[in-house]
Structure 1
C-alpha cells in the first residue's frame, strides 16, 4: 500500500484524497460532488455483488441529521445522483421516507424528515423520472421496483420504525429486491410507554447490524460535546478495509488527511485512539474517542 501525506493508493488502486475544510456549511460544489461520486461507486460494487440489505452512512455536518446544520438539500442531491445511477440500466427505483409514527396527538415525524417526500416529488429527476417512484416504509410499499432507497429512517420517542422496516426487509429479500438505508438512525429511544425498552433490544440491534455497509464516511472528533476540531476520518467502501485518516493542520488555512491505518471490521474507540496519540498510551488510559 503506497502512502503519501493526505493521499494514498487504496485497495481500489486509486489515489484517494479527502477534501479540505469539511466543517464548512454548505460545502463547496466540488466537495459535495466528491462524496456523491464516492457513494455511487461504493453502492455499485455492493449491488453488483447481489447484496440485498445495504446501508450508506455519510455524516459530514450537512448530511448528519443529528446536527443543527443539517441540509436536506444536500441529502436529496446525493439521493438523486444515487437513484440516477441505479436506474441507468432501466430498473425501477423507489425512494421511501417513513410515515408519521405514533397515534393521535402523539403522531409525528422527526423534524429532519418533515416535508421531505413532498420536496422529492417536486424535484427534477431528469431522464430517469419515469423509472422513479415514491413511498413510505413497510412491506405494503414493495412493488415492481428493483431498488428501494430509504432516506434517514429513525425511531422517535414512543414509537419505533423497526417493525415496519423489518417487515419490508424480510419481504424484499424474499422477492430478491435491494433495500438501501441512507443515514439510518436506528438506536433505541426509551420512553415512559415502554417502547424500545430492554426487552427485544438485542434483536433490534441484530436486525440493524444485518444491513451491510456499502459506504461509510464519518468525521472523528475528540469529544461528543463539540463537533470541533476535526481529528480525522473513518472511511469504508464495500469489499474493502475500514480506513483511518488523521487530519494534519498545515498552517495558512490548509490541512491534509494522512492515512494512518486500516481494519478488517469497523473499529471502536479503543482501536482508534492509539492511532491519534503522539506518544505511547499510558497504562490503563481510557479511550477518549467519540463514536
Structure 2
C-alpha cells in the first residue's frame, strides 16, 4: 500500500466546476441564533467518536468498516476549482490571490460563527517553511487581506509575532520569523490601518479594544517553548470574550539539551495544540518522503466538507484537480490513501469495460 503524507500546497481557468451534491450529513452550525454573538467553546479537531474510514467518493460505493455499503456522491465544490501548476515558483499573483481568498473566507466564517480558538493552515510551496522556496511576503500578504476584511466588519485586530525565546545566551527566534515584526511596521495597511495594531505573544497583549488576535506562525524553538506564553494569552483572551486565530502554527515539540519540552507535560501540550478549531486548510499531497510529484490536495473551508482531490494530467501540458472524496472531519493518511485506492480501482474497471466494448 502506498502511503500518502500531507506535506504542503490550488485551478486553471476554464476547468469545469465539480457538480454539486446533496450532502450525506450536514455539519452542525455554530452561529448564534439571536442576540449578540457569543464565543463558542473550543472543540477538538479530532473527534474519536467518528470514523474516518468511510469515504464519500465519486461514482461508486465504498465499503464501510461495519460491513455496510455507503452510496457515494460527488462532493460539492467549496470554492473555485483548485489552481494548477502549484510547483511553479515563484507563484504568479493570480495563484496567490486564490489562497488569499481561501484564507479570508475561512477565517471570516469562523469568526462570524463565534469560534474562540481557530487555526488557518495553508502550506503551498511558498508558505511551507520546510521548502527552500518559502516566502514570508506571501504569508504577510494573506494576513493583511484577512485583517482588512475583519476591519471592514468593524472589528479591531491585533497582528502578533512571537518575540525571541529562551534564556541568556540561548535566546533566539525562528529563522522564518526573523525580521517579520519590522516588515509589519513598514507595511501599508490601507484603510484598515486605524483598526490594526501590532503585538507579540503573551498574556499582557490582551486589551479591551481588540476583538480578534492574529498570530503569525507561532512555533517552538530549541531551548524555547512558545506554547506556554501562547496558552496564557489564549486563556486571557477567552476570559475577555476575544477570539484568537493562529496562521500556520508549528506547535510540535523541539527537543533540546536544556530539557525543554521533555516527556513531562507533553500530553497537555498536545491537548492544547489540538484545541484549536480548523477554520481553513489546504495542503498538497505527495508520496511518502517526497515533495515531488504532487499527487493531490486536501482542502477545507469553515462550514464545508474536507475534500480530497487527485491531480489528473489531461495532456502533456494541462492538468486539473478532481475531487475523489469528502469527509465531515479531517481525514488521516490512511483514509486519504483509501480514497486514492478506490479511485484507482474504479478507473481500472472503466478501462476494462472500455476494452471489452471495443472487442
TM-score, reference length from structure 2: 0.74
Separation in structure 1 between the aligned mates of residue 281 and residue 161 of structure 2, nearest angstrom: 21
Q: Displacement of 1:134 after TM fit?
A: 0.4
What CA deviation, in whole Å up to 9, does each residue of 1:218-257 have, x standing for no partner?
A: 1010022x21110100011112221100001122321110
Separation in structure 2 between the aligned mates of residue 7 and residue 149 of structure 1, nearest angstrom: 33
What CA deviation, in whole Å up to 9, does each residue of 1:135-161 have, x standing for no partner?
A: 100110112211111000000012110
Contact 2:78 2:304 in 1 (8 A): no
Separation in structure 2 between the aligned mates of residue 141 and residue 92 of structure 1, nearest angstrom: 14
My pick for the range that moved more, 245-254 or 180-189, is 245-254
| Counterpart secondary structure, 1:81 | helix
Match of 1:108 among 147, 172, 180: 172
Gaps of 5+ in 2: 1-14, 24-75, 347-359
| Counterpart secondary structure, 1:18 | coil
Pairing 1:120-139 to 2, within 5 Å after superposition: 120-139=184-203
Separation in structure 2 between the aligned mates of residue 238 and residue 142 of structure 1, nearest angstrom: 26
Contact 2:18 2:77 in 1 (8 A): no
Contact 2:217 2:249 in 1 (8 A): yes
Q: Tell me which residue corresponds to 1:230.
A: 294
TM-score, reference length from structure 1: 0.90
Q: Say whether residues 1:184 and 2:249 are aligned partners.
A: yes
Match of 1:9 among 6, 20, 36: 20
Separation in structure 2 between the aligned mates of residue 257 and residue 43 of structure 1, nearest angstrom: 24
Structure with higher strand content: 1
Contact 1:8 1:259 in 2 (8 A): no
Separation in structure 2 between the aligned mates of residue 228 and residue 13 of structure 1, nearest angstrom: 26
Separation in structure 2 between the aligned mates of residue 214 and residue 8 of structure 1, nearest angstrom: 24
Task: Work out the number of aligned pairs and report it.
Answer: 276
Taking only aligned residues, the RMSD between alpha carbons, in angstroms, comes to 1.7
Contact 1:9 1:15 in 2 (8 A): no
Separation in structure 2 between the aligned mates of residue 175 and residue 8 of structure 1, nearest angstrom: 43
Stretches (4+) displaced over 3 A: 4-16
Contact 1:39 1:215 in 2 (8 A): yes
Separation in structure 2 between the aligned mates of residue 70 and residue 163 of structure 1, nearest angstrom: 27
Q: Tell me which residue corresponds to 2:143.
A: 79
Q: Displacement of 1:66 after TM fit?
A: 2.3
My pick for the range that moved more, 76-85 or 188-197, is 188-197
**Structure with larger RCO (C-alpha < 8 A, sep 6+):** 2
Q: Displacement of 1:13 after TM fit?
A: 6.8
Question: Whose radius of gyration is greater, 1 or 2?
Answer: 2
Q: Say whether residues 1:205 and 2:216 are aligned partners.
A: no
Separation in structure 2 between the aligned mates of residue 86 and residue 210 of structure 1, nearest angstrom: 23
Separation in structure 1 between the aligned mates of residue 89 and residue 160 of structure 2, nearest angstrom: 26
